[in-house]
Amino acid sequence: MTHSQESDDQTTPNAAAPKSSEAPKPAPSKQVTPASVKPGPVKPSNIRPAAPAHGAKSEAAPAAGGAAAPSVTPPPSYATDLEEARRFARVAEDGHVFVLIGGEEHPVGQYPDASADEALGYFVRKYDDVVNQLLLLEHRVAAHAPTADMNKTLDHLAEIVAAKGMVGDLPALEERIEKARADVAQLHEVEKKAHEEQRAAHLAEREQIVAEAEELAGRDPEKVQWKQSSQRMNELFELWKVAQKSGMRLGRGTEDALWKRFRSARTSFDRHRRAFFSQLDADHAEAKRVKEDLIRQAEELSTSTDWGRTAGEYRKLMAEWKASKRAARKDDDALWARFRAAQDVFFESRNQTNAALDAEFEENLKVKEALLDEARAIDAGKDLGAAKKKLDSIRERWDAAGKVPRSAMQRIEAALRQVEDSVKDAEDHEWRRSNPETKARSNSMLEQLQDSIAQLEADLETAKAGGEKRAIKQAEEALEARRTWLKTVEASAKDLH
């Protein structure tokens, strides 16, 4: 009991009980008679906590996978001081002991052939036994131990106290027992709530397993990564078995409904997987047939010497190969090797032929290299007409020189085009410079800019005279822009003249 519940003339220690599933069950006390009590050392009380009944479970089952409740150090043993105990008892000369309750005496028992202190101490220890059992239970309540059998223990302690076979502050002890009973009821509600929360959490865990299995089963079979998804489905099944084995029971109806959903998802998943791989085998067989036909065509073309046409045919075959479905990996790799080998025969033969031709074209390359040096020396800026005639002469000799090796063709042709572009640019520039229409537009632009500048200068003077800062700034900015533009147009006009 708390300090507020203790009597004014007795101090009873308070402590928390160890967390344990055992409910203390004291043995029934005996009414002491002169014949049953002999002088001598007093034996310890035979009141001990009883073991829990076989198969007994706590109200709140532990969460799945949770560890057992930690042990709690029991409270220190309580012993009533004899001086304190005398306030609640009277010992007669013949060894009879009486307990005082509300000013009235109640016989407790007799301890003959012993001193008054020995007789009093014997019955005080019976009181202390009950207090210590109550301390243990209070300690367990404070530690939130399972409440199973706690009320049974309190009923038994209340029965012992009601028998008045002990010496102590019995009304305070009865009040303390009732307070403990209220605390047990409150703890039981906490246990009940925790049990419901644990069940909800375990139900959510099972629901998550089922939901993920259903999500896997509902995917488009054509887009499923079957190896990873099958592995995940197996993992979900293992998680289900672990949850079913070690988790909290959810009730047959709930568990059956969840299992039916999970089993249905697994069945659907397996059906889709088997259908997918059956179709995949058929697709592989068809792809193998198509690719073997492409290989046959490639092998027939491999001895052709019609290089251009045959190279085009091979490009078509390659496009068909890429558009076809894949065969099984092992078959597909072997089929590709055969297809590639047939092409290699043709292209190797063509390369050997081209190499022989390239050797013949080396002399032509030397001629074109010399013509290229001659073309690079052309200066179209000095004499455009002479430059054009020179370039025409070089082109005639270039065409007459013939083919060059394939490896040099792109480089040599690009170099000549660069010279041709330079002459063309010079020709275009000359045309623009001598075009009367262009000159007229340039002169008109000059006149417009000059008139605009004159007007802006007049506006600036007017703004300065009026002291209008904003107008002055705007006029200066506009005037600066027109003058810059005028310089550009004047430079362009010089090129035209």
With helix as H, strand as E and coil as C, how does the chain read?
Answer: CCHHHCCCCCCCCCCCCCCCCCCCCCCCCCCCCCCCCCCCCCCCCCCCCCCCCCCCCCCCCCCCCCCCCCCCCCCCCCCCCHHHHHHHEEECCCCEEEEEECCEEEEEEECCCCCHHHHHHHHHHHHHHHHHHHHHHHHHHHCCCCCCCHHHHHHHHHHHHHCCCCCCCHHHHHHHHHHHHHHHHHHHHHHHHHHHHHHHHHHHHHHHHHHHHHHHHCCCCCCCCHHHHHHHHHHHHHHHHHHHHHCCCCCHHHHHHHHHHHHHHHHHHHHHHHHHHHHHHHHHHHHHHHHHHHHHHHHHHCCCCCHHHHHHHHHHHHHHHHHCCCCCHHHHHHHHHHHHHHHHHHHHHHHHHHHHHHHHHHHHHHHHHHHHHHHHCCCCCCCHHHHHHHHHHHHHHHHHHCCCCHHHHHHHHHHHHHHHHHHHHHHHHHHHHHCHHHHHHHHHHHHHHHHHHHHHHHHHHHHHHHCCHHHHHHHHHHHHHHHHHHHHHHHHHHHHC
Any idea of the CA torsion for 283, 286, 290, 291, to the nearest 10 degrees?
Answer: 60
- Interaxial angle between packed helices 329-376 and 252-301, expressed in degrees from 0 to 180 and rounded to the nearest 10: 50
CB atoms within 10 A of CB 411: 11
CB-based contact 364:403 (threshold 8 Å)? yes
pLDDT in tens, the chain (497 residues): 333 333 333 333 333 333 333 333 333 333 333 333 333 333 333 333 333 333 333 333 333 334 445 455 677 788 999 999 999 999 998 889 999 998 899 999 998 888 999 999 999 999 999 999 999 999 999 998 988 899 999 999 999 999 999 999 999 999 999 999 999 999 999 988 888 888 888 888 888 999 999 999 998 888 888 889 999 999 999 988 888 887 777 788 888 899 999 899 999 999 999 988 888 888 888 888 888 888 898 888 888 888 888 889 889 989 988 888 888 888 888 989 988 998 898 888 888 887 777 777 888 888 888 888 888 888 877 787 888 888 888 888 988 888 888 788 898 889 888 888 888 887 777 676 665 555 555 567 777 777 788 887 887 788 788 788 887 888 788 878 878 877 777 776 665 55
Q: Is the pTM of the predicted complex or chain greater than 0.85?
A: no
Is residue 172 within 8 Å of 7, Cβ to Cβ? yes
